[in-house]
Amino acid sequence: MSASPRPRARRRALNGAAVLFCVLWAFPVYWMVDTAFKPYGDILSTTPRFLPFPFTLANFTDAIHKQGFLTDLANSAVVTCAVVLLSVVLAFFAAVALTRFRFLGRRGFLIAVLVVQMVPQPALLIPVFLSLKSANLLNSLLGLVLTYVAMVLPFTIWTLRGFLHGIPVELEEAAMLDGAGRMTIIRSVLLPLVMPGVIATSVFAFITAWNDYLFAYVLMKDQSHYTLPVWLVSFSSSTGTDYGGLIAASTLFALPVVVFFMLIQRRLVAGMTAGAVKD
Amino acid sequence: MATSTAPRPARGTARAAAPARPPRRRRSGASLPYLLLLPAAAVLALVLGYPLVRLVLISFQDYGLRALFTGVVPWAGWANYRAVLSDPQLLPVLLRTAGFCAALVAGTLVIGMLVALMMGALGRRMRTAVTLCLITAWAVPNVASTLVWQWLFQPVYGVVNWLLTQTGLVGDLVQHDWTTSAASAFLLVWLLVVWQSVPFVALTLYAGLSQIPRTYYEAAALDGAGPVTVFRVITLPFLRPILGLVAILSVIWDFNVFNQIWILTQGGPNQGTTTLGIWSFTTAFSSNSLGRGAAIAVVSVLLLLALTAVYVRRLVRSGEEL
Amino acid sequence: MRRRSLAAAACAAAAALSLTACGSSSATHGAAAAQPAGSRTLTVWLMDGDLSTQATDAINAAFEKATGAKVNVQIQQWANINTKISTALAQNNPPDVIEIGNTDVPLFAATGALSDITADESSMSAGQTWLPGLVGPATVEGKVYAAPLFAGNRAVIYNKTLWAAAGVTTAPTSFTQLTADLDRIRAKNPQPGFSAFNFPGQYWYGALQFVWDAGGQLATESNGRWSGALGTPAAQQGLQAWKTFQNTYSSPASRNVDTKTPDQAAMFASGKTATILDTSINTVLKDNPALKGQIGTFPFPGAAPGQNQPVFLGGSDLGIAAKSPNQDLALAYLKAATSPAVQSSAIVGIDGWTPISTQLIDSTKGSLPPTSTAFFDAAKSSVSTPATPGWATIESDQSINTFFADIATGRKSVAQAAASFDAHLDQALNASQ
């Protein structure tokens, strides 16, 4: 609430600015959805049409029937779920270890975790390829899952650690007085309070696994193991770009993420920031 | 919530189902942290640690396609680094990377801050609308958003060119190709990255803002302080830790922007938008000099480390529990 | 409830992991353990947009008839393909047969990724003379590493209706006539964004035709060392001629783009341009089937009377992965694909591509639909890119696209652009791989 004594005019100006902002920020997504429902002739027209009438679902049917959609969707879903679950579980335990205990190598591990986030991902393509080749994990979804988990762990550990910092030790001490052992404390005391942070980092893991093109393309030899981003790129082929199909496919591809975000949006920011704020 | 003693399921179930964890003793004190850390450390070592070591190793080898196929890898010593450091492209690439990163971080932080302030002053319904728009922009995966951006800004068929021409402010832009010059190509990428990065910053800063006690603002109003003073004296100091976190993350992420540049411009025109990441990639995969590409990547990490060293050192030293 | 969710999460993670571990069973039979004869499968990678499904089926049928083994075809996309092929060939169980663009073959032939098929070359070619533009890039120090699959050339595709509306009813046979015709079309269609001849600035395959027509070259080799030749007077003249042509007849928006963004076949199909230079009319017909019967083709006329511009010889070769465990089957596949029967019936008959030998070109020309003869005529005078591994760099880093776009947009003068591109060619073409 504004403390200023000029409420009306200021409020209107502010709302006007907010509306302008919303229009600007939502425009690309609106245009994407609008294009997806337009027939071919209206897409490739020099005068843009802002409402998708005539309305058509042809682009979506083209997209869905494009080769590999269901397989790649299944692969993406499996990989993404596995990455989210695995990274959150591993990072949670690691964060607990890093914040609630003192042990040799703790600081070093933390710094390593921070430093490793700075490596540009494309640079790791061949080294990861060689590493997975030695481990015989090429062309397997497991190898891909582990790759994404490793990419996501540093940020996840860092965020969960920040979050755990904000939880006062007194709560655990009280539980210990009640006779609870270490593992019980972790499960019953820490985990519930950390849930918003867990949600925030799972979002990050979701996006990373869902969105990656380069590693999926190179590490998976067989097309039956490809994920959705690779499928998305196949709309721009040497026989021409199917714009309607491409935009419809992009919409389909973005949909789960947007829905996921919307569902957890209130918890999301709380999770990302609670640790930092208390810092 | 935490002090209740709700009934617990058999302890064995959860642990037995979790993958790759050794059996635990109930009262282990010393080994518990290591055991908790082990799975994460194992995955990191296999998929990030070993490849990183490999990357540094490759940067010292004459690693090309022949090495990839035949496994015969000649040692190159410092040759790759020497080639990279004496490459006439190095300085322009560095300047471009630093400049573009700075422009991205500045843009994201400034716009994010303004949006956060705006959100703080809005009523609940408008604020929810703004939040939803932000979330939508943030959620779109960047492979999809880059393709959509390419479509938005296309010459002749793109809607942005048409809209800009309609405003009459900038003349006839319908045929304008944004990737023609390095400056406008960078602008194109800047718009895309900022569009998707502002939501995180804005929402985070807004969360921080909403934690500042109202009493401070009321006191300032009583003292007759103007908005700029209020911002400088009250808001900024409170937000400092969050701003620091957000800034450091932005620097790291924006320094390594890759997908958007690669899909939109491929580093062109004429290497005009080739940043360190793109340069490393094209050296490795277009020129097939994986050794030199690795050297560039190592240089890039060292640079970023130097840039963020101040923050890292502060973290380590500040008595803050690391 | 919270504890149960952790347990559930852990269980789900374990379940998911075991599922993905099952999905990687390729690891267990990766080394192609002994399989009963007759149930072997050959993995073949083909490129998107090259052969149609029917043509591929024809090759597969011939192969299956000869060997009894099955074929698993996987279609690959062109984006980042060299990275894909490099990493695929570096694995221990690579795909058996790979279709590689003829300009990329030297890269893999010279680095040990493909099997040496010199011993079988004569039995495969069976007396035909394979096109040098296809087999040349696959030959390193006298050894052959890949067999040709098909060739593709470019000819001019024009919209008869739009041309007739401007008063032009016959295809031009000389360059001056072409420009005169295009002037009339330009005058008749003054709307902004319309191109009489859409020629994207990055379209190096087409632009090079002007260089070759003027007698210039991309690069020359002497004593094993390549050097860029775009600074020679002949090449400069050709480049200048191209710049004038491009700037005059193609819209300003096309100066910095390639043929895909925006898609030139789509532009032709929707009437935004009356003429394009391309490898086949199939995409246009797919975009707008109503144009059937309204499309005509002719080879791009050269400056000298009676001659056509030399065209870029595109096409693909089939290579066998050196690490493949099915060398014999892969060879049989190559034999099937290069056999005159399959070439005539499938490559030419179904797809209308140019076959792989001069004899086949002559014998099949008569069976072509009228719109395809122009491509075959153009093939008579074709040039290929330098057959050296370093050429792949020039294509991957898109320096050649930028070179021509620089000239078309005026970012650099013709002489400046040639000087800097020649320097890049000198460095890249001679780099060891």
Number of H helices, E strands in chain B: 16, 0
Q: Which range among A181-195, B34-48, B113-127 shows the weakest confidence by mean pLDDT?
A: A181-195
pLDDT band at A278 (very low <50, low <70, confident <90, very high): very low
Reference A61, options A78, A43, A40, A91; nearest CA is A40
What pTM value is reported for the model? Answer: 0.82
Contacts of A77 in chain C (CB under 8 A): none
Contact across the interface for A111 and B316, Cβ inside 8 Å: yes
Domain hosting residue A98, numbered range: 68-278
Average of per-residue pLDDT across B24-43: 72
Contact across the interface for C262 and A44, Cβ inside 8 Å: yes
pLDDT tens by residue, B148-198: 898 899 887 888 988 888 888 877 777 778 888 889 999 999 999 999 999
Average of per-residue pLDDT across A192-196: 77
Q: What pLDDT is recorded for position A191?
A: 75
- Which alpha helices (H) appear in C110-254, and where do they start and end? 118-125, 132-135, 160-165, 175-188, 204-213, 233-249
Q: Tell me which of C329 and B13 has the higher pLDDT.
A: C329
φ and ψ of C42, to 5 deg: -100, 130
Contact across the interface for A142 and C2, Cβ inside 8 Å: no
First-last CA distance in chain B: 27
Residues A154 and A232 in one domain: yes
Q: What pLDDT is recorded for position B318?
A: 56
What's the domain count of chain A? 2
Reference C27, options A147, A131, A136, B47; nearest CA is A136
| DSSP secondary structure letters along A102-126 | --TTHHHHHHHHHHHTTS-GGGGHH
Residues A193 and A98 in one domain: yes
Let me know if residue A100 belongs to a domain. Answer: yes
Contacts of A127 in chain B (CB under 8 A): 50-52, 54-55, 58, 294
pLDDT band at B203 (very low <50, low <70, confident <90, very high): confident
Say how far apart CA A123 and CA B54 lie, in whole Å. 11
Average of per-residue pLDDT across B27-40: 75
Contacts for B81 with CB less than 8 Å, ≥ 6 apart: B59, B295, B299
The CATH H-level (homologous superfamily) assignment of domain C39-152+313-383 is: Periplasmic binding protein-like II (3.40.190.10)
Tell me if B150 sits within 8 A of B264, measured CB to CB: yes
* Chain CA centroid to CA C240, Å: 26
Q: Where are the domains of chain C?
A: 39-152+313-383, 155-310+397-429
φ and ψ of B257, to 5 deg: -60, 125
Say how far apart CA C427 and CA C431 lie, in whole Å. 6
Let me know if residue A2 belongs to a domain. Answer: no
Residues A25 and A118 in one domain: no
Residues A169 and A244 in one domain: yes
Contact across the interface for B139 and A243, Cβ inside 8 Å: no
User: In angstroms, what CA-CA distances link B149 with A27, A192, C304, C346?
Assistant: 11, 40, 45, 40
Reference B208, options A196, A274, A264, A200; nearest CA is A274
Q: Does C114 touch chain B (CB under 8 A)?
A: no
Residues A79 and A165 in one domain: yes
Q: Tell me which of B44 and B30 has the higher pLDDT.
A: B44
Low-confidence ranges of chain C (pLDDT < 50): 1-36
Residues of chain B above pLDDT 70, percent: 88
Assign residue A91 the CATH number of its domain: 1.10.3720.10
Say how far apart CA C143 and CA C125 lie, in whole Å. 15
C157 DSSP β-pair partners: C276, C297
Query: How many CA atoms lie within 13 Å of C167's alpha carbon, on the beta-carbon side?
Result: 10
Q: Where are the domains of chain B?
A: 90-277
Which chains would you list as touching A if contact means 3+ CB atom pairs under 8 Å?
B, C
Contact across the interface for B136 and A26, Cβ inside 8 Å: yes
Q: What pLDDT is recorded for position C5?
A: 36
Say how far apart CA B41 and CA B35 lie, in whole Å. 10
pLDDT tens by residue, B228-274: 888 888 888 888 878 887 888 899 889 989 989 988 888 878 788 99
pLDDT tens by residue, B65-86: 888 888 888 998 999 999 999 9
Of A21, A47, A116, the CB nearest to B48: A116
Interface of B with A in 216-255 (CB under 8 A): 217-218, 221, 241-242, 245, 252, 255
Q: What pLDDT is recorded for position A240?
A: 66
Counted across chains A and B, CB pairs separated by less than 8 A come out at 307
Residues A24 and A108 in one domain: no
Residues A40 and A84 in one domain: no
Of A93, A181, A210, the CB nearest to B39: A93
Q: Which range among A177-181, B225-229, C19-23 shows the weakest confidence by mean pLDDT?
A: C19-23
User: Which CATH number is associated with domain B90-277?
Assistant: 1.10.3720.10
Q: Does C31 touch chain A (CB under 8 A)?
A: no
Q: Residue C290 carries which DSSP code?
A: G
Contact across the interface for B156 and C252, Cβ inside 8 Å: no
Residue B5 has pLDDT above 60, yes or no: no
Q: What pLDDT is recorded for position B238?
A: 83
CA angle A26, A32, A37 (to 5 degrees): 130
Q: What is the mean pLDDT of chain B?
A: 82
Identical topology for domains C39-152+313-383 and C155-310+397-429: yes
Q: Does C90 touch chain A (CB under 8 A)?
A: yes
Of B155, B269, B285, the CB nearest to C405: B269
Q: What pLDDT is recorded for position A272?
A: 56
User: Which CATH number is associated with domain C155-310+397-429?
Assistant: 3.40.190.10
